[in-house]
Chain A
Amino acid sequence: MQITFQQVEYRYSFNTPFEKLALQDINLSIPTGQFLAVIGHTGSGKSTLLQHLNGLLKPTEGLVQVGEHQIKAKQKAKSLKSVRQKVGIVFQFPEHQLFEETVLKDICYGPMNFGVSEEDAIRRAKELIVKVGLSEEVLNKSPFDLSGGQMRRVAIAGVLAMNPEVIVLDEPTAGLDPRGQREIMDMFYELHQEKGLTTILVTHSMEDAAHYAEEIVIMHKGRLKRKGSPEEIFSSADELFEMGLDVPDVVRFQYQFEHKSGKKLPKTCLTIEELASAIRTVSDGGEVL
């Protein structure tokens, strides 16, 4: 299911003295099954952009096309419901949305809102609870008896249970310890590979963007500054530094190394292994081994 933004503009508090331009001139096309990372400062418009993906916000100008659905300024709420089933959003600190008496009921809340039968919802919950790294017995517990990390996984399962075609992740690893971060990101990547789920990741981690994304979009002051593959984007480290953004550790190291040694590496390295072997080749007088 393809997603397209056409000349999208969004203003907060439209037509009041507090009006603020949050997005302007957004033109973006996200093909089905892509893993896209959105990076940018707090306040760059990332979050506003996200909320247009499932119609939580409607553009004040322009058009957002999600599959066959069109989201425009005068859209009525009713027609947006089916978009919300197709585009699942995992907000930051999703554990804050848990409310049901049991984990099972909470996971079923989403799918049942969209007309899924209770049996089917329960079946999905049982599958997903294992998929997110928890055991089936957790299903009968109260979500509030779980640890923060467990609650987060339950919340993620609740969104996945809606069977969306697109999954949007707003800093899914915020506040987790290193192992938790790895496990959550690997899980989403696996889902992406297995089910061809279009995945849109908003993150501050340049490493995650470089590691998982096929395409990266940079948001800056409400505009879409640049779009390209991780290699393209991180090749212009200077531009990113100017915008006050960082680059992955590997890229930063390559940048410092090239400046100090005067030698240029054959390409922009995105992993530690690539970097190590690139440095090796350059130390042999530039012979590619």
Chain B
Amino acid sequence: MKEIIKVDDVHFRYPDQNSFALEGISLTVNQGEWLAIVGHNGSGKSTLAKMLNGLHFPEKGRVTVDGIVLEESSIWDIRSKLGMVFQNPDNQFVGATVEDDVAFGLENHGVPYESMVQRVNDALKSVHMEDFLNQEPHHLSGGQKQRVAIAGVVALQPSIIILDEATSMLDPKGRKEVLETVRKLKEEENLTVISITHDLEEATKADRMIVLNQGMVFKEGTPEEIFLLEDELIKLGLDSPFTIKLAGALKEAGIPLSKTYFTEEELVNELCKSHFNR
């Protein structure tokens, strides 16, 4: 797997703080993967996300995005490869209408008018918001606004998308809409997705997970590996997915299972097969 982002022993402190928000973080992101970065509120996950986009600079250490080392002079190059969707749907909606907002990024990059119109339309179609071109943001739901934000990002054709807690202010329906949209786009455009979240269910669908705690990397691995640390996760302020908890309860009730991690469907099938002969 090709490395597309490399974070090397990064340290970062906010200007008026003594303690480090990020302390010695080293990690890599592989091209084409869905990486979930989880951690309690204050663990540094958002700070890390903003650093990848050049919104912060490391005090010590180095960040490399697609071969470009992060420094003052390279941020605009990096920003054309990396798009970010933020947490608050309203506070990233710049345009007066949906199409204006999607066009904003294109305008910034000096894209000529003729290609802009096509790209705006294509981007909105890819997030299923093509019927909302002229809508004003206060008529849209949270999930719709976030999808417009995603359209704004994909219109610039980046290779990496970062979702910075992009679903934490949404209701379950909105969350589902946004995650499905990103998943589909990832496959269609072969994107690398980094999702910063504390939603365990969202993290279970990732290819790989990194758990942050108090500014440091606590653990790295596949969701299966990470969720085995049930109790430790809870101590870190996180939670365990439903299926893990259920598997644990079943074991205690006298129904041991062959594997350690399942999706709900897999668990149902496993139960039916091994204990009910169906």
A275, B249: Cβ atoms closer than 8 Å: yes
B255, A276: Cβ atoms closer than 8 Å: yes
Bound-state Cα–Cα, A263 to B278, Å: 11
- Judged by a CB distance under 8 angstroms, whether A56 is at the interface is no
Interface size on B, as a range, is 20 to 34
A178, B237: Cβ atoms closer than 8 Å: yes
Interface residues of B in 250-267 (CB under 8 A from A): 250, 252-255, 264-265, 267
Tally of contacts, chain A with chain B, CB under 8 A:
87
Instruction: Report the minimum CB–CB distance from A96 to chain B (whole Å).
Output: 12
A260, B246: Cβ atoms closer than 8 Å: no
Bound-state Cα–Cα, A252 to B253, Å: 20
Chain B interface: which of A4-12, A110-118, A130-138, A169-177?
A: A169-177
**Chain B residues touching A, majority SS:** helix
- Judged by a CB distance under 8 angstroms, whether B275 is at the interface is yes
B271, A179: Cβ atoms closer than 8 Å: no
Bound-state Cα–Cα, A177 to B254, Å: 32
Chain B interface: which of A76-84, A227-235, A277-285?
A: A277-285
Instruction: Report the minimum CB–CB distance from B271 to chain A (whole Å).
Output: 7
B249, A272: Cβ atoms closer than 8 Å: yes
Q: For B275, what are the chain A residues with a Cβ–Cβ distance below 8 Å?
A: 283
Q: For B278, what are the chain A residues with a Cβ–Cβ distance below 8 Å?
A: 260-262
Bound-state Cα–Cα, A288 to B198, Å: 39
Q: For A272, what are the chain B residues with a Cβ–Cβ distance below 8 Å?
A: 242, 245-246, 249
Interface flags, B227-256, vs A, CB<8A=1, else 0: 000000010011100100110011011110
Closest 7 CB pairs of A and B: A178-B239, A276-B249, A179-B237, A276-B253, A249-B242, A177-B198, A280-B253
Binding site for B on A (CB under 8 A): 41-42, 147-149, 174-180, 182, 204, 244, 246, 249-250, 252-253, 256-257, 260-263, 272-273, 275-277, 279-280, 283
Binding site for A on B (CB under 8 A): 40-42, 141, 168-169, 171-173, 198, 200, 234, 237-239, 242, 245-246, 249-250, 252-255, 264-265, 267-269, 271-272, 275-276, 278
In the complex, given contacts A179-B238, A180-B237, A253-B246, what are 9 additional A-B residue pairs having Cβ atoms less than 8 angstroms apart? A147-B41, A176-B41, A204-B171, A246-B172, A250-B246, A252-B264, A261-B276, A276-B250, A277-B253
26 residue pairs of the A-B complex, CB under 8 angstroms, read A147-B41, A148-B41, A174-B169, A176-B41, A178-B198, A179-B40, A204-B172, A244-B173, A249-B242, A250-B246, A253-B242, A253-B246, A253-B264, A257-B268, A257-B271, A257-B272, A260-B268, A260-B272, A272-B249, A273-B249, A276-B250, A276-B252, A276-B255, A279-B250, A280-B253, A283-B275
